[in-house]
Structure 1
Amino acid sequence: MMRQHSPAPSAWRRIQDAWGLPGLAGKGRFVSANLIDSLGNGLVMAFTVVFFVKTTSLSLVAVGAALTVGQLLALPVPPFIGHLLDRCGPRTVIAAGNWISVAGFIGFLFSHAAWQIVLWQFVVQLGSTAFWMGNNPLIMLVSRGVERARWFGLVRALRNIGVGFGGAASAVALSLGTVAWLRAIMVVNVVTFALAGWLVITFRGADTSDAADAGPEEPKPAEPERAAGGTAARPSGGGVLKDTRYLRLVAANISFAFASTVIRVLLAVYVGDNLGVGTWIVGVLVVLNTTMVALLQTLVGRWTEVRRPGTTLVLALLLNAAAFIVFGTLPVLPGRAAIAGLLIAMVLYTMAEILSSPTASELSVVMAPEHLQGRYLGVYQLSWSVGGAVAPALLTALLEGGASLPWAFLTAISVLAVPLVLGLDRRPVGMSRAAPVEDTAPEEAFRAPRSPREKILCELLSEVLGVPPVGIDDDFFALGGDSLLAARLIGRVRAVLGLELAMRSIFEAPTVAGLAQRLGTGSADDALQSMLPLRAHGDRPPLFCIHPGSGLSWSYAGLLKHIPRDVPVYGIQASGLLRPDDMPGTVKEMAARYAEEIRGVQPEGAYHLLGWSFGGIVAYETAVRLQAQGAQIGLLALLDCYPGVPDHCRIDDRSTIVSLPDPSRPDAAPWEGSPETAEAVEVLRQDTGALTGLDEARSAALLTTLSHNRHIAGDYEPGTFDGDILFFLAVRGRTAGAPTAGTWSKYVRGEVVCHPVDATHTTMNRPEPLAEVGGVLVEALDRLAADSTRMKEAAQ
């Protein structure tokens, strides 16, 4: 049969993938607002101190002190803006911030005394704080949840383009040496901030809808819980002060806040007074900085997407330290050497900025509980406020004491911040978005065991799960159970009660009350059926999880505690586990069979599919098949799988399992009773305790299935999928030239959105990686549910 080749992706799609760009449709005003606002920032950023030195009779130290006092007065502001952010939404807060800054910059034009600089710097800082506290949450609304890292990088790149042009214009004005030109630059700055505020408040770009006039929904304040007396309790922001992980991010960000003031506060004065080179080089350095960010931000973002955020921030801090060391050594160098040193230091400094800015910005939002996001961001903004307030006076005072002192200080705080960011992640343990899904239904009263058998089962569940005593209605998977722990429970029940407990029984009735009735019933084969209900109840569209190369879907049980409880979850398993002579001859045949079985469970509606490794390939082709039948695909989630790459298997030189799943020898599968089978089965049982319940015949069938699936994976040519892919990339153990999520781009008429997972390919089914996957799946499923609700309401 002739293979079907997918149409080549569009030129724009290739550019997006190559440069790590997100989808931009419907977001023109948001993009323009950031570009224009950053132009205004560039006009004054590097020359604020110089502006007042040139336009007033105040000394350098007096100007620095006045700017510092103005910023210090704004220190209490972020918590109040946080409350406004939770109440009014980010768009309103950003526009208000821009227009408040307009008032402050107008005041700059008429400032002559120190107290006037203090007053208007306070106003500008108030507006700037509002802008930055609102901009990151607005990016969260504008972007598709799993595309946020790219959006943070793109916004940073756009802002640096604007800052670069603004900095160049200011450098020209400064080189002309006239006060009139400096004032003209300030007037242009006023206009840019006013226009940017208007663009933001009128922005109606697409969020989750393709409609051109649909806009991102402003977040609404969380509904306060009712106290016992019936009055509503106000949400408290005090939780952030107990969130040590978030406070580590805040503390580390002070170092980045100080670093960010180098161009605005320190560079022009340092170069002009200590290096003996023309001030024109400052404009060159600003342009170099912004050009590098504009060109490299999204490209570097593709690299950081597959790295832990903590690792990225450590590298940024070390690059900053190296840059400041270079800056500090320049006064001893002659003119040309000093210029070369400035360029080297600026490259290091800019690379640190490229790594740190989007990473820290994204972390500041996603690590905050959604209902307290504004309050958390208020505390995070304090790090910027403290750094921005203290830096002008401190750095200029240090510079007065010696040319190298400010650089030594900046180096020290960069190094000291390294331990603070180690281990920080986008979805840390305990964070609301990554935590097990809470049951919003009324909590049932604890029910104690009613019989000796239930008492023993409660004790065994508590022992296996490592939790306090459980009641007869407590859910095994909600308490942290997975397929491996289920296998341990089966073994303990057999040893203590002398009764068999089927794996399928744990999936279907995961409470002591349910299991007590199923002891001694069913068989091991029940858990090998093709359609395995991991959670059969729920009124939302099910999530269908397709087996990896082994043919078993048991490992997906680890997702149950992360997926909302009103979402049914089914595992699809290989028919060869029970009928080795009835295995589909190709991936396309397998997908056709699975599409039919899925429709048997869910006759119509949006289908949600997930697959890991070989299962991802089959999930993709099943989605293609369902679309060909006119069905809608809501979610297609692929876990570290690639077309044309055989399914991974455990390699153990001590056993013959290496030769069993050879894709070039599909007939080399073992048979029951062979010595090779016995040895291979023992390796498999050591590899995953969940297989201890399989006899030799079923274990041999599993090995045959694994060999067969690896064989047909190599012959598979993907069809064309009309939609988006949510891709989870295992970032550990990768080798040079290993395939990436982009491998799928040429087959997809949509976006391949990559989410890195801190795991190797073979450990994707462990609890920690599944927690990362589950957090993203919850977000995607909730977004799809909200879209469906809006569409139904619009149709009524």
Structure 2
Amino acid sequence: VHDVVVTALVDPPAVTRLVAYVVGRPGRRTPAPAALRRALRATLPEYMVPAAIVPMPELPRNERGKVDRAKLPGAPSLEVEMVEGEYDQWELVVGQIWAEVLGLRGVHLDEDFTALGGDSLSAEEMLAIVQARLGVDLRASELLEQPTLRAFARRVRSGAKSLPSHPDVVKVSEARVPGRPPVFCLSGAGALGLTFLPLSRYLPEHDVYAFQQHGLERRAIPDWSIQRTARRTVELMRIVQPRGPYLLVGHSLGGLVALEVAKLLTEGGERVEHVAILDSYLPRSSTEQAQLHFGRMAESPVRNPALRALKRGLDRAAKRILPAGVPVGEEFAKRVRAYGAGVLRYGGQKDFDALFDQATIVTRRHTPSPYDGTATFVLADGNPDVDGWNDVLRGATTTVRIESEHSSLLREPHVAELATALRAAFTTQEARP
């Protein structure tokens, strides 16, 4: 870099962001904004990294030789936070790869790869990561044909469907420092195993495998009990790693499955080295869920107390007939969709939502098995079961609190803090005799 000026973009009520205008050294290749962002993030705190970097042939200056900020061009599109619900599962996974390569926190669905600062070198790097992690071999010309995240993620997904691989498990990353056992990650309800991809980057000592619900990506009847899911998971795990010690990480629903997996392995004479439960909720009936939900509603004066009382009355009346509660309105539609999950295709994100609804029903019927081994319980914002897990995790358990929304726990910037806790737990366990 030969010359640079950084300005503050103030646009209330949005957060003030930094924009850098950069001039490359004469006779040198112009540095790509993506490469600059990654270099800055390696040395600066996050708030000092410019949200946008604009390459310039030269900076405009006034007659006194100072930078004329009024003549600087407007800032390009700024990086965004990738919010669950606005992206489908594949858009999140591919978006995380784009963000990694481009040095961004997140990428908007309709942003162009090159417009975000990507050049030919970063494009080749991105395609190599897509092939290594997702198994889809694409050419640079296909990035030109599908230049936005939305279109490119659709292309990656279509390529992944044709791959000869197991539908329930994916190898997310390979150990760069061999010698430690693999980490088996179990995903949440309706979530791809590839959501563990950001976490895997922080675990270079381990192969990382991720499991997802049966029927999530290929048409199949899903498991209708967590015990059945655990048995299926153990069968696949023992193909990868026939003997212990085993490292298990379960997010949300995956935490409940991880406990059952640990139980099966222990009963089979194997050693489970560590189990990490990532913000899992304890099973509860729809009546209990309604009470929890309406209890939170009571804190807000804008909610209708008459509606709250009516719902509670209906739940009490139905409890003797249907312990899971009576599905009404939207709940009824979800229940119907859940019973077709994995077999019927609803299209796009609705397929994942159907498996989520199905897992909700399965979870209500489940009673977690107490676990006496070493565990880490990671608690994110809003988890109502802070104390309840004490009755389940009866061994040496470390509780880690991370200020994060439930699903964002596995994404930047929170995943870095999560990985630090997990690596410390795995290292401590390894050091024990």
> TM-score scaled by structure 1?
0.30
**Structure 2 residue matching 1:618: 3-state secondary structure:** helix
2:189 aligned partner: 549
Q: Aligned equivalents of 1:719 and 1:766: distance in 2?
A: 29
| Residue of structure 1 in register with 2:38 after alignment | none
Looking at structure 1, the residues matched to 180 and 410 of structure 2 have their Cα atoms a distance apart, in angstroms, of 24
Cα distance in 2 for residues equivalent to 1:526 and 1:717:
36
Give the structure 2 partner of residue 772 of structure 1. 417
Do 1:542 and 1:569's aligned partners in 2 also have CA atoms closer than 8 Å? yes
Give the whole-Å Cα distance in 1 for the aligned partners of 2:418 and 2:152: 35
Superposed displacement of residue 724, structure 1: 2.1
Q: Match of 1:749?
A: 394
Shift of 1:712: 0.7
Counterpart among 225, 250, 257 of residue 611 in structure 1: 250
CA RMSD of aligned residues (A): 4.6
Q: Give the structure, 1 or 2, with the largest relative contact order (CA under 8 Å, sep 6 or more).
A: 1
Contact preservation (8 Å) 1:586, 1:712? yes
Preserved contact between residue 462 and residue 469 of structure 1 (Cα < 8 Å): no
Q: Which residue number corresponds to residue 146 of structure 2?
A: 495
Secondary structure class of the residue paired with 1:575 = coil
**1:595, 1:607 → 2: CA distance?**
11
Alpha-carbon distance, 1:477 to partner: 6.8
Percent identity over the alignment is 21
Note if contact 1:730-1:757 (Cα within 8 Å) is conserved in structure 2.
Answer: yes
Q: Would you say 1:561 and 2:201 are equivalent positions? A: yes
Aligned partner of residue 230 in structure 2, secondary structure: helix
After TM superposition, the structure 1 = structure 2 runs for residues 417-456 of structure 1, keeping only pairs within 5 Å, are none
Q: Deviations over 1:584-614 (max 9, x none)?
A: 2210111111011111111112111111111
Residue equivalent to 2:339: 667
The match for 1:530 among 145, 151, 168 is 168
1:784 maps to a residue whose letter is Q
Q: Does 1:728 align with 2:368?
A: no
Deviation at 1:530, TM superposition (A): 0.9
Is the CA contact 1:555–1:765 (under 8 Å) kept in the aligned structure 2? yes
Relative to structure 1, is the Cα distance of residues 646 and 599 closer, same or farther in structure 2, using a 3 angstrom cutoff? farther
Tell me which of 240, 244, 249 is aligned to 1:601.
240
Q: Is the contact made by 1:542 and 1:568 (CA closer than 8 Å) also made in structure 2?
A: yes
Contact 2:222–2:341, Cα closer than 8 Å, also in 1 = no
Cα deviations by residue, 1:692-737 (Å, 9 ceiling, x for unpaired): xxxxxxx53x333222211111111112322122011112x46xxx
CA distance in 2, matches of 1:556, 1:646: 29
- Between the aligned partners of 1:470 and 1:657, the Cα distance in structure 2 is 49
Flag the 1:607–1:490 CA change in 2: closer, same or farther, 3 A: farther
Q: Report the residue type matching 2:146 in the other structure.
A: A
How far 1:667 moved relative to its partner? Answer: 3.0
Q: Give the aligned residue type for 1:577.
A: L
Contact 2:187 2:253 in 1 (8 A): yes
Residue 389 of structure 2 is aligned to residue 713 of structure 1: no
Aligned to 1:540: 180
The structure that is strand-richer by fraction is 2
In structure 2, the CA distance between the partners of 1:703 and 1:657, relative to structure 1 (3 Å rule), is farther
Q: How many residues align?
A: 279
Deviation at 1:243, TM superposition (A): 9.7
Q: Does the aligned pair in 2 maintain the 1:595–1:622 contact within 8 Å?
A: yes
One-letter amino acid of the structure 1 residue matched with residue 255 of structure 2: G
Q: 2:385 aligns with which of 739, 744, 748?
A: 739
1:773 and 1:619, CA in 2 relative to 1: closer, same or farther beyond 3 A? same
> What are the equivalent positions in structure 2 for 1:233-248 lying under 5 Å apart?
none
Secondary structure of 1:557 counterpart:
helix
1:667–1:475 distance in 2 versus 1, CA, 3 Å: closer
What are the equivalent positions in structure 2 for 1:188-227 lying under 5 Å apart?
Answer: none
- 2:107 aligned residue: none
Distance in 1, Cα, partners of 2:117 & 2:423: 24
Task: Name the structure 1 match of 2:302.
Answer: none
Find the structure with the greater CA-based Rg: 1
Q: Give the CA deviation at 1:500.
A: 9.0
Deviation of 1:464 after TM superposition, in Å, equals 6.3
Give 1:777 deviation, angstroms. Answer: 1.2
- Secondary structure of the corresponding residue to residue 275 of structure 2: strand
Is the 1:730–1:760 contact (alpha carbons within 8 Å) kept by the matching residues of 2? Answer: yes
- Cα displacement (A) at 1:471: 8.9
Contact 2:215 2:343 (C-alpha < 8 Å) held by counterparts: no
- Name the CA distance, whole Å, in 2 between partners of 1:500 and 1:668: 26
The offset of 1:539, in angstroms, is 3.6
1:70-219 aligned at under 5 Å gives the runs none
Contact kept in structure 2, 1:528 and 1:577, CA below 8 Å: no
Residues 62-118 of structure 1, C-alpha deviation per residue, up to 9 Å, x if partnerless? xxxxxxxxxxxxxxxxxxxxxxxxxxxxxxxxxxxxxxxxxxxxxxxxxxxxxxxxx
Cα distance 1:620–1:501, how it changes in 2: closer, same or farther (>3 A)? same
Shift of 1:772: 1.2
2-structure distance, mates of 1:658, 1:491: 40
Q: Match for residue 261 of structure 2?
A: 622
CA displacement, residues 483-505 of structure 1 (integer Å, 9 cap, x when unaligned): 9xx99x9984651599999758x
The answer to whether the 8 A contact 1:490-1:502 is kept is no
Q: Which has the higher helix share?
A: 1
Specify every segment of 5 or more residues in structure 1 that has no aligned partner in the other structure, as ranges. Answer: 1-241, 246-459, 505-519, 685-698, 792-796
- Relative distance call for 1:566 and 1:758 in structure 2 (3 A) is same
CA displacement 1:750-777 (0-9 Å, x = unmatched) = 1332111111223223311211111111
Give 1:631 deviation, angstroms.
1.1
Give the superposition deviation at 1:556: 0.8
CA 773–244 in structure 1, closer or farther in 2 if over 3 Å, else same: closer
TM-score scaled by length of structure 2? 0.53
The answer (yes or no) to whether the contact 1:660–1:707 under 8 Å persists in 2 is no
In 2 relative to 1, CA 666–569 (structure 1 residues): closer, same or farther, beyond 3 Å?
Answer: same
- Matches of 2:141 and 2:409, distance apart in 1: 24
Secondary structure, counterpart of 1:593 in structure 2: helix
What are the residue-to-residue correspondences of 1:251-262 with 2, within 5 Å?
Answer: none
1:531–1:573 CA contact under 8 A, matched in 2: yes
C-alpha spacing 1:471/1:668, structure 2 compared with 1 (3 Å): closer
| TM-superposition CA deviations, 1:232-263 (whole Å, max 9, x none) | xxxxxxxxxx9999xxxxxxxxxxxxxxxxxx
How far did residue 643 of structure 1 move? 2.4
SS of the residue corresponding to residue 764 of structure 1 reads helix
State which of 197, 201, 211 in structure 2 corresponds to 1:572.
211
Secondary structure of residue in 1 paired with 2:146? helix
- The C-alpha deviation readout for 1:155-209, integer Å capped at 9, x for no partner, is xxxxxxxxxxxxxxxxxxxxxxxxxxxxxxxxxxxxxxxxxxxxxxxxxxxxxxx
2:424 aligns to what SS in structure 1?
Answer: helix
The residue identity in structure 2 corresponding to 1:703 is D
2:246/2:271 contact within 8 Å kept: yes
Equivalences for residues 379-394 of structure 1 within 5 A: none
Q: In the aligned structure 1, how far is the partner of 2:343 from the partner of 2:238? A: 34
Q: Residue 577 of structure 1 aligns to a residue in which SS? A: coil
Aligned twin of 1:633 = 272
**Aligned partner letter, 1:667:** Y
AA aligned to 1:782 is T
Q: 1:607 to 1:557 in 2, by over 3 A?
A: same
Contact 2:133 2:172 in 1 (8 A): no
Q: Which residues of structure 2 form unaligned runs of 5+?
A: 1-42, 47-111, 294-327
**1:656-690 C-alpha deviation (Å, 9 max, x unpaired):** 995478469843759857xxx46xx4xx4xxxxxx
